[in-house]
Amino acid sequence: MTDIATLERDTLAAIAAAADEAAVEELRIAALGKSGSVSALLKTLGAMTPDERKEKGPLINGLRDRVQGAIAARKEALGETALEARLASERLDVSLPVQDGPEARGRIHPISQVIDEITAIFGDMGFAVAEGPDVETDDLNFTRLNFPVGHPAREMHDTFFFAPDSNGERKLLRTHTSPVQVRTMLAEAPPIRVICPGRTYRNDSDQTHTPMFHQVEGLVIDKSANLGHLKWILEEFCKSFFEIDDVKMRFRPSFFPFTEPSMEVDIQCSRKGGEIRFGEGEDWLEILGCGMVHPNVLRNCGLDPDVYQGFAWGMGIDRIAMLKYGMPDLRPFFEADVRWLAHYGFRPLDLPTLTGGLSS
């Protein structure tokens, strides 16, 4: 019994002091292997008398079980220690922001984002998108829109004209997207519900004007279209675009050659603290012009004004982008500064939707 107790003490102490799993395995073989010390004791049980076996059997079997348990416990402890050391050496600071992948590093320009927002809003109202060329004819840009040759309203547009072609015709860079409305009325039969976003050009440049800018115009032609419909459409657009629950608008008489009556539209706002906030305050800000399509325009586009009537509106995309996203100067929109775009741009996968949010 003394030899068994001594063997157990020495074996368990060696197992507890094993530095790694390889050392534990060597001790297992030395104790429990085919020629191991504990295995040798187990072999002696066959030669013992029944009384000796009854006395020493439990001692030897208990020694085997305790050695096996100590080996398993030591292996588990060494495994946990190795895992902790590996985790410590391979630790990542997950508090740092994850670097964007290549597909997310670019930015959507605010103009493209706002055009998508406008399209989402009017698309939900049943409007289609119509487009046309940037280089237009005098006829489509002015004459069919009730700007006769020599009309003083033409001077307001600061037009870029090209040199006369072989036929003596002078093409121009369109001063508004209204020629797209004319093209639509010439090509399609009513009812018509379209918006016309795109680039426009005028010889003007300062903090809020650039020679090239963007407009979106809308056109509705039907037998019963009226100013009540126009007012509702513009109110719903402003609430959705500026993401406010309520908006107050006022319509002021104005003049445009292509509409009669014509109106300027102001939206209620607050200018406190140098910041413009819509849906509150006692100030007003002009955001667009609109009116009923002039009968002469309908006639020029092959429509009978005694049968059809309609309304149209137009606004600057760059201007409403500045108002919504707090951009103080129009010129950086077109300077291709990646620092400005990184600040004001939008992630490419954050597409504006009415359900998910326009500017999420």
Mean pLDDT of 292-313: 96
Predicted confidence (pLDDT) per residue in 96-143, tens digit:
777 777 777 788 899 999 999 999 999 999 999 999 999 999 999 999
Q: What is the mean pLDDT of the chain?
A: 87
Residue 212 burial by Cβ neighbours in a 10 Å radius (0-12, 13-18, 19+): middle
> Would you list which residues are annotated within the binding site?
260
> Would you list which residues are annotated within the binding site for Mg(2+)?
260
Residue 97 burial by Cβ neighbours in a 10 Å radius (0-12, 13-18, 19+): exposed
φ and ψ of 337, to 5 deg: -90, 115
Mean pLDDT of 247-269: 92
Indicate the pTM of the whole model.
0.69
Distance, in Å, from the CA atom of 119 to the CA atom of 32, rounded to the nearest integer, reads 79
Range among 13-27, 304-318, 330-344 with highest mean pLDDT value: 304-318
Predicted confidence (pLDDT) per residue in 145-199, tens digit:
998 887 766 776 688 888 988 888 889 999 999 999 999 999 999 999 999 999 9
Query: Residue 214 has what pLDDT?
Result: 94
